[in-house]
Chain A
Amino acid sequence: MSDRRAESALSDQFESVEQQHGADLFGMWIFLATEVMFFGGLLVAYAVYRHAYPHGFDLASHRLSVVFGTVDTAVLLCSSLTMVLAVRALRLGQRLPSIALLLATATLGCGFLVLHGTEYYHEWQEHLVPGRYFQFEGPHLTEAQLFFWLYFALTGLHSFHVIIGVVLMLVLAASVFERRLDAERYIALEVSGLYWHFVDIVWVFLFPLLYLIGLR
Chain B
Amino acid sequence: MSAPIVAIKVYLKVWGALLLLLALTVAAAYVPMGEFHLPVALAISVTKAFLIVFVFMEIKWGGRLLHLAAIAALLWLAIFFVLTFNDYLTRDLPSALVR
Contacts and interface: CB of A to CB of B under 8 A. Distances in A.
Contacts of B37: 212-214, 216
Interface of B: 1-2, 5-6, 8, 11-12, 15, 18-19, 22, 25-26, 29-33, 37, 41-42, 44-45, 48-49, 52-53, 56-57, 62-63, 65-66, 69-70, 72-74, 76-77, 80-81, 84-85, 88, 95-97
B77 A36 contact: yes
Given A29-B66, A32-B69, A91-B5, A204 B29 contact: no
Contacts of B6: 88
A40 B82 CA distance: 12
Interface residues of A, number: 49
Given A48-B88, A52-B88, A77 B77 contact: no
A85 B14 CA distance: 12
A62 to B, nearest CB: 11
B22 A201 contact: no
B29 A208 contact: yes
Nearest to A35: B73
Please report whether the interface of chain A is mostly helix, strand, loop or mixed according to DSSP.
Answer: helix
A21 B2 contact: yes
A70 B26 contact: yes
A40 B76 CA distance: 9
A176 interface: no
Interface string A148-181: 0000000000000000000000000000000000
Given A48-B88, A216-B32, A77 B18 contact: yes
Contacts of A100: none
A208 B88 contact: no
Interface string A186-216: 0000000110010011001101110011111
Contacts of A25: 62, 66
Nearest to B98: A52
B15 A216 contact: no
Given A36-B77, A70-B22, A208-B45, A201 B88 contact: no
